Chain A
Amino acid sequence: MAMRKSRRGPRGAAERVEGLLVMLPWLISRKRVKLSDMAKQFKLSEKELMNDLMMAAMCGVPPYTPDALIDVFVDEGEVFAEVPLMFSRPLQLNSAELFALQAMGSAALSMPGADKKGPLASALKKLQPLLPKGDAVVEVDVKAVKFLVEAQHAVSAGQFVAIDYFSPISGSHSSRTIFPRAVFEQMGHWYVRADDDQSGDIRNFRIDRIQKFTPTGKTADPKIEGIEAEVDFFGTDMETATLMVRPAALRLVETYPYISREPQSDGSVKIEMAVGSELWLGRLLLRGGDAIDVLEPAKWVDLGVHTAQAVLKRYS
């Protein structure tokens, strides 16, 4: 029931009506809103919103006298609405909307530092009766990691932070000063996105690999950067490998993003994936054991063997 379901082209009549039935109660509860703000809120252009509001203004019940029409109008860039006989109450929440609220609530409440008895918890409690038999149908597990709360604080406070960081891609430790811009979770891991003094670039650091996190005392205006979608960790220049993965290792390999997946008749799957580093691939091959073979490139065919030899040295 998006305000704009179709990404391109004009919206259909049903889509516009659907939008109006959401927008009108929202508008009526506010009575007066800037046209530009409302358009932005509902992801419409001002022209689209104007057209929708004009359509609403012509709707009502016979005899279509002014008092029987929906009372909405635009004047000097502001939208006004009076309480009409109908459409003052929002539509009921559908299953997907209830689901989204519950998922969001479960996730937000399980984040470190969440107030489990605060206004979010009480809001979700008030929504609970809308679910059949009060079922908790969706839950989100959020992993707690050390320095997460500190990283969140550093973003909002504009703190420069000295960190000790371990990179499994290079197998090395580094000390650097970062200026955090955002904290985000992706694929089950928390990252801090920050200006990095060592590379002179903006980098994403996995928070559970930060060994030390010490504010330097220096601050600047926060540069909060919203992470709108999934961050693409795989640049176009990253090397790829083609693996033959037998069923015993599928669960393991398929936890990572892949480029292509081609099931074989014996239950194996041929998987092409981006490879962050030789160390990373070696680790995957070691974990998968003889259930993974590297098909391409040739230079990595024996990488699993070499990795096992390196680990074996720790036991000798």
Chain B
Amino acid sequence: MINLLALLVQRTKPMTLKQIRQDLVGQYPESDTAARAAFERDKGDLRALGIPIELITLGGDQAGEGAYRVDRKSFELGDLGLTDEERAALQLAMATVRVGASHGDEALWKLGGERALNAQSTSLNIQLDDELMTTLADGVVEHRTLTFSYKGETRNVDPYGLLARAGFWYLVGYDHLRTDRRTFRIDRIDGEISVGDRRSFNRPKDFDLQKAVPTEAELLAEGHGEDAVATVLVDASLASGVRTQFGKQSVVKEHADGGVEFAIPCANLTAFRVWLFAMVDHATVVGPPRVRKQVVTWLTEQAGGR
């Protein structure tokens, strides 16, 4: 296979299979049928590696005959002008951020870098396996529609982008079944994902991947509750986490014992309750009275048994 590639790259003119067989003596079987089959296999393998073999129909004395050529520009990576410092930065980042699969290492090698072999003090895990990453990347990079089963339904989705957040991967795209934009958690996709043709859709120009998947704070604010904001007293032990999540501007009052009152969006009462009770008995709704009463009523129902 390497010899075939070397030959087609080196020769400037397209070569017929007959010429290839003459030059690569002994590489292909003597029987025409077997030689054709072996050649097709090599051709397929090279194409799978991203090396396109062009078929040209000859004219003149060889009119109608097929000939093959490979343009090295079609498969070789051009010089990106990466400096040693930039290559080292990519290498360090790749060692720190574990994207899973082996695609990251392979990208580094192609860029002339090296896989870091020493232990890194920091690591971030956003792993996808080889096969899944290949499929999803083909979809989002090459604009191929993806088809998969999700919650028992077959979905055809034009994938606009993938977002990793809080330990999960999300696929955002146009869902042909719902005729609207939807978000899918990757680990909830059932079975295989099939990939459509290249360039089967255009991504909207105004698409913003970060904004497409709401954060927890945004989810709390997306609702029709009568009150938009609740004041929540959080014990000192958990206050710093809430401050990081909602920002300094959410602090209403700091208590002497380290407890902090925060202004938290609560228009989506269900989401608010789920957020609030993650702190169990380390947080209390102080107001407004209507929200506090709703929380107490709900707790009373739960405490009464089911």
Q: Which of B85-123 contact A (CB under 8 A)?
A: 85-90, 92-94, 96-99, 101-107, 109-112, 114-115, 117-123
User: In the assembled complex, how far is the CB of residue A152 from the closest CB belonging to chain B, in whole angstroms?
Assistant: 5
CA distance A86 to B121 in the complex (A): 40
A183: interface (CB < 8 Å): yes
CA distance A152 to B92 in the complex (A): 15
When the two chains form their complex, are residues B7 and A62 in contact, meaning their CB atoms are under 8 A apart?
A: yes
What number of A residues sit within 8 Å (CB to CB) of B? 119
A197: interface (CB < 8 Å): no
When the two chains form their complex, are residues A311 and B51 in contact, meaning their CB atoms are under 8 A apart?
A: no
B225: interface (CB < 8 Å): no
When the two chains form their complex, are residues B121 and A152 in contact, meaning their CB atoms are under 8 A apart?
A: yes
When the two chains form their complex, are residues B119 and A123 in contact, meaning their CB atoms are under 8 A apart?
A: no
Q: What residues on A are CB-neighbors of B104 within 8 Å?
A: 97, 100-101, 104
Q: What residues on A are CB-neighbors of B228 within 8 Å?
A: none
A135: interface (CB < 8 Å): yes
CA distance A159 to B75 in the complex (A): 49
What number of B residues sit within 8 Å (CB to CB) of A? 112
Name A18's closest neighbour in chain B (CB-CB).
B49
When the two chains form their complex, are residues B102 and A141 in contact, meaning their CB atoms are under 8 A apart?
A: no
Contact flag A61-B90 (CB < 8 Å), given A173-B237, A308-B299:
no
CA distance A140 to B98 in the complex (A): 12
Contact flag A93-B110 (CB < 8 Å), given A59-B2, A100-B133, A104-B94:
yes
CA distance A232 to B274 in the complex (A): 26
Q: What residues on B are CB-neighbors of A97 within 8 Å?
A: 103-104, 106-107, 110
Name B80's closest neighbour in chain A (CB-CB).
A126
Contact flag A166-B167 (CB < 8 Å), given A59-B6, A96-B103:
no
Q: What residues on A are CB-neighbors of B130 within 8 Å?
A: 2, 96
B3: interface (CB < 8 Å): yes
When the two chains form their complex, are residues A230 and B125 in contact, meaning their CB atoms are under 8 A apart?
A: yes
Q: Which of B123-167 contact A (CB under 8 A)?
A: 123-127, 130, 133-134, 136-138, 140-143, 152, 160-167
Among A108, A208, A302, point to the contact of B305 (Cβ < 8 A): A302
CA distance A93 to B90 in the complex (A): 15
CA distance A189 to B124 in the complex (A): 10
Q: Which of B62-95 contact A (CB under 8 A)?
A: 72, 75-77, 80-83, 85-90, 92-94
Q: What residues on B are CB-neighbors of A29 within 8 Å?
A: 112
A interface residues (Cβ-Cβ under 8 A, vs B): 1-3, 13-14, 17-18, 20-23, 25-26, 29, 40-42, 55-56, 59-62, 70, 85-87, 89-101, 103-105, 107-108, 111, 118-120, 122-123, 126-127, 130-133, 135-146, 152, 155-156, 166, 168, 173, 182-189, 208-209, 211, 222, 224-227, 229-230, 248, 252, 254-255, 263, 279, 282-283, 286-290, 293, 302, 304-305, 307-315
In the A-B complex, the 6 residue pairs with the closest CB atoms: A226-B119, A188-B166, A187-B167, A99-B137, A308-B302, A123-B86
B interface residues (Cβ-Cβ under 8 A, vs A): 1-3, 5-7, 9-10, 23-25, 45, 48-51, 72, 75-77, 80-83, 85-90, 92-94, 96-99, 101-107, 109-112, 114-115, 117-127, 130, 133-134, 136-138, 140-143, 152, 160-168, 185, 188, 203, 209-210, 236-238, 240-241, 244, 270, 273-274, 277-278, 280-281, 284, 292, 295-296, 298-306
